[in-house]
Amino acid sequence: IPACECNSCYGGPHCSEFSPDGCPLDVDLGDPLFLEPFWMQHSKSSAVVVAGWHRMSYSDGIGSSILFSKELTNHIFQLHALVGNAITKGRFILFGVGSSQLLHAAVHALSQQGSSHPACVVATAPFYPLYEFQTELFDSEDFKFQGDTTLWKNTSSANSSTNIIEFVTSPNNPDGRLTKPVLQGPSVKTIHDHAYYWPHFTAIQGPADEDLMLFTLSKVTGHGGSRFGWALIKDKDLYQRMLMYLSLNTIGVSQDTQLRALKILKVVLKGGGEIFEFGYNTMKARWERLNEILSASRRFSIQKLEPQYCNYFQNVTGPSPAYAWLKCEREEDLDCHAVLKAASIIGRKGNLFRAESRYVRLSLIKYEDDFDLLLHRIKVLVSKEEGSK
Ligand code: PMP
């Protein structure tokens, strides 16, 4: 193949040589591959072998159409007890195909509980785009996406009969801040998305004790591909409505996934939190390196996060967020995504999070090589700034 036909990532004879310069760097996806080295060190103990006859059935044979492994539930409860990030006592648990499925199961179930229809689904910008995209995709008479909470904050709607469903993400995707609900009132229901409430990404302030909490294996162990999340639910009626949704939607979570999740959690628990040491040290080091480079820049800034006391490490820790929420400061850099793209950095556009287009989210949780290349490219951009050191 002549060299000119190689794509921008490869060159040399037969396009066989990887040439990072100019090759687009994808830091869009929130894929927690930073944990892969941990799992390589635990290759053998985390491997799963499933015999062909094992767990073939849809059901548990005793009347439940969805088989939720009790052993897996116990291990999830032990994980929360180890980290101290959620109360599990007296809670119902549901498994989902990633927490993505549970997000919508929750919207569906909560919209059935209020008196008024449609329920207004809201979140505080910048917020995780899936809340909006899913709600619109599953277009229903029961709920409508209504944008940012600030539109509702100063109206009497939160106290009226309008049924409101607020998504609260803590720590927040994209900016890593610990957040609280903005709206309160008898007609407001809250979905607490704690996908990132693990010691890798934030100081653990104490066990979350909300009525409806969502977690995902993707961000705690890095196994996004297994598609496994769980919901902790206080109210039995809500639990049953969500269960009904899951039964009709996917008839539960793959048994193979549940077996893998169990094996993975066994290794995490046996290690007594070793994964959190690894995860936190990796993320903290990445944040510090990025900050050091950007401290020389007047063109780009990232969110300011303060160190906080972490109950899990029993020390002041962080920051160690999953994403950089980068802002292009120059007047003319209105489209920050395009500015970075010109430097072969592909982030996620700020306007997807309902923020200004001068913001871009950069994933810091991918492989070390991706992160190193990201730093290299940002360094080059910063060095081109007028008056830079
Ligand atoms: N909530 C938040 C805030 C997320 O960032 C993500 C994944 N990026 C999810 C939920 C969904 O994760 P999953 O479906 O992999 O469990």
pLDDT tens for 311-365 read 999 999 989 999 999 999 999 999 999 999 999 999 999 999 999 999 999 999 9
Backbone dihedral angles phi then psi of residue 274, each to the nearest 5 degrees: -55, -35
Give the tens place of pLDDT for each residue, 242-274: 999 999 999 999 999 999 999 999 999 999 999
Kindly give the distance from the C-alpha atom of residue 156 to the centroid of ligand 1, in angstroms, as a whole number.
32
Whether residue 19 has pLDDT greater than 80: no
pLDDT band at 22 (very low <50, low <70, confident <90, very high): confident
Buried b (16+ CB within 10 A) or exposed e, 226-258: bbbbbbbbeeeebbebbbebbeeeeebbbbebb
pLDDT at residue number 156: 54
Kindly give the distance from the C-alpha atom of residue 99 to the centroid of ligand 1, in angstroms, as a whole number.
6
* Domains of the chain and any CATH numbers: 3-39+273-383 (3.90.1150.10), 70-270 (3.40.640.10)
pLDDT at residue number 38: 98
Give the tens place of pLDDT for each residue, 171-183: 999 999 999 999 9
Q: Which residues pair with 300 in a beta bridge?
A: 328
Q: DSSP for 7-33? A: -TTEESGGG-EE--TTPPEE--S---G
pLDDT at residue number 8: 72
Give the ipTM. Answer: 0.99
DSSP 299: S
Whether residue 155 has pLDDT greater than 80: no
Kindly give the distance from the C-alpha atom of residue 67 to the centroid of ligand 1, in angstroms, as a whole number.
23
Whether residue 118 has pLDDT greater than 80: yes
The pTM of this model reads 0.94
Q: What angle do CA 285, 290, 295 make, to 5 degrees?
A: 125
Among residues 269, 258, 263, the alpha carbon closest in space to that of 226 is found at: 258
pLDDT at residue number 9: 75
For the residues 50-72, what does the mean pLDDT come to? 82
- By most ligand atoms within 8 Å of CB, the mutation choice from 94, 170, 193 for ligand 1 is 193
pLDDT at residue number 152: 82
For the chain, give the mean pLDDT. Answer: 93
Of the listed ranges 15-19, 74-78, 137-141, the one predicted with least confidence? 15-19
- Cα(169)–Cα(181) distance, rounded to whole angstroms? 9
Q: Please tell me the residue having the least CA distance from ligand 1 atom 13.
A: 98
Atom from ligand 1 closest to the CA of residue 172: 3
Burial bucket for residue 266 (CB in 10 Å: 0-12, 13-18, 19+):
middle
Whether residue 127 has pLDDT greater than 90: yes
Whether residue 389 has pLDDT greater than 60: no
For the residues 86-108, what does the mean pLDDT come to? 97
Kindly give the distance from the C-alpha atom of residue 97 to the centroid of ligand 1, in angstroms, as a whole number.
11
Strand order across the beta sheet in which 188-193 lies:
92-97, 228-233, 212-216, 188-193, 164-169, 119-123, 143-148
pLDDT at residue number 4: 59
Kindly give the distance from the C-alpha atom of residue 323 to the centroid of ligand 1, in angstroms, as a whole number.
13
pLDDT at residue number 64: 66
For the residues 212-232, what does the mean pLDDT come to? 98
Of residues 20 and 57, the one with the higher pLDDT is 57
The response to whether residue 28 sits with its C-beta less than 6 Å from ligand 1 reads: no
- Cα(104)–Cα(119) distance, rounded to whole angstroms? 13
Going from the C-alpha of 311 to that of each of 8, 198, 199, 273, 306, the distances in angstroms are 46, 11, 9, 13, 16
**Cβ neighbours, 10 Å, residue 43:** 8
**Cβ neighbours, 10 Å, residue 316:** 11
pLDDT at residue number 1: 47
The response to whether residue 169 sits with its C-beta less than 6 Å from ligand 1 reads: yes
Of residues 12 and 290, the one with the higher pLDDT is 290
pLDDT at residue number 113: 80
pLDDT at residue number 21: 74
